[in-house]
Chains A and B, each alone.
Chain A
Amino acid sequence: MMTILLLFFPLIASLAVLLGGSKLAAKLALGLAVVELAITGYVVSVFQASGPEAFYVFHSWIESPKVSFHLGLDGLSLIMVLLTNFLTPIIILSAFNRNTPHAAGYFSLILLMQFALVGVFTAMDGLLYYIFWELALIPIYFIALRWGGENRVAITLKFFIYTLAGSLLMLFGFIMLYWYNPDQSFDIRELYRIYITDGNQSWLFWMFFLAFAIKIPIVPFHTWQADTYRESPTQGTMLLSGIMLKMGTYSLIRWLLPILPVGVATWGPLAITLCVVGIVYASIIAIKQRNLKNLLAYSSLAHVGLIAAGIFALNIQGLQGSVVQMVAHGVNVVGLFFCADIIFNRTNTNETNELGGIRNLAPQFTTMFMIIVLGSVALPLTNGFIGEFLLLYGVYEYNTWLSVFAGLTIILGAVYMLRMFKKVMLGETGIRVPEFPDLYWNEKLALSMLVIVIIAMGIYPQPIMDMAEPVLQTILNKTVI
């Protein structure tokens, strides 16, 4: 019951905002998103007490092919839903004071996206999951198309088709799995049980992996990412980088690892190598990027490469690390893009060459920005550190040299982040940037929330890890032959 409420409330909210008109849109959207967050909070407290069984929803939906409306909230899904519902109000909050044209449509699309994302994370039936996966693509396409930057049309089209091509492969995969099942069902419990021959596991692995690799993205399937992040409006980029890409990593854990263990065993080494190469590749590119949003996009690419590598390391710390880092990265990257948005709002530029000396003009902003940067750079006592430590340890257990190579991220990350901070914030005041009003109320509130989470997660990450442990252990048992 709670699950259905949790899922459909954003949809209703989206309609309400659309009908409510542009004047009310921002406040209404924020209010409804906060309500959704409150519901999620309640669900978390019930979950601690009673476990995942309370949130199981199962209705037979379609007879032939047999698709059921099966939702479930176990530890992993709940963490992802919590992340989504925590970030959405902050994303909406970040859009205040920005004079968005056609606001009703904008916020309505954000809430629609939330609906699709919650659906992806709670769906336990293959086809239902696929429907939500595709559904998530539509609002972001329109958000980017209508409210994006100058070159958005071609770039958004490329993003859409590229992602869709991957998803199509995944659909083929699901259909293949359906035919494999003697009971012929898409339900996840059935999918976990069926036996697939080794040869077919390889094909299926690539079908699913490509879909997820494009979504995350994993190098070399990443070329849509930097441009799309840059041209999308800030809220779009936050949705994309903060939550949508987590769909890919979540799916690796939920749908790829346990269903195709032989495929993972065969192709895992290649996958993890791609991920690790991607980490260093993206970090190096980030160093010399002159556009702030491009730099953050490549930084994000490096971090999610590590998350994916940790998943393919196939050990408990890798999986725990990936869950923690998914949350941490979501929070950090939303914070970073928000700071970039604040800078753009005040100075009308994203080029680091045209910025500098902001520190003296806006001390509050500087402090928040610095803490978020430190979280991204994985300083101990921030959330990024816990994730990176676990992930690097996970990769280490898989292969020592890979983890040394992946560990270069802590050096390179410091290089490009601090270099960016130096260029943008430090230096002589007032030369490039004449004035810079400090944070408005909505920015202060949103950034404070993020900063609190960054530090709190850094000091006490155990609740998240405890919540995810049973699920991850089960999946690990299924995966490791």
Chain B
Amino acid sequence: MKLEGKAKMLRIHFGEDDKWKDKPLYRAIVEKCRELDIAGATVFRGIEGYGASTLIHRTHLLSFSHDAPVMVSVIDSDDKIQKLLPFLDEMVDEGLIAMSDVEVIKYSHQDGARSE
């Protein structure tokens, strides 16, 4: 896959407990990205935050609730990102989706370089 020059970065913010068809939403999004052959997606877990619902998301060490804020960062060309958007619109019930311009400097992989 080639990816160079101008591209778009999507950042999707929501809660770790959010679900899509009984599956963690962040996993569902990553799977959808793979299905659409998007160049890459990464999920980050925050330690505290609040969002559209103004509910504080926080990980509690003692309680078993883990509704930490989660951010999925997706980078690909504009047209690929545009293809993903309708799905996200449907999947992300409560959250924030932001898009920004990025310039790809390097996108590389080594075939079979990883021995696993």
Whether A associates with B in a native complex is: no
Chain A contacts to B: CB under 8 angstroms: none
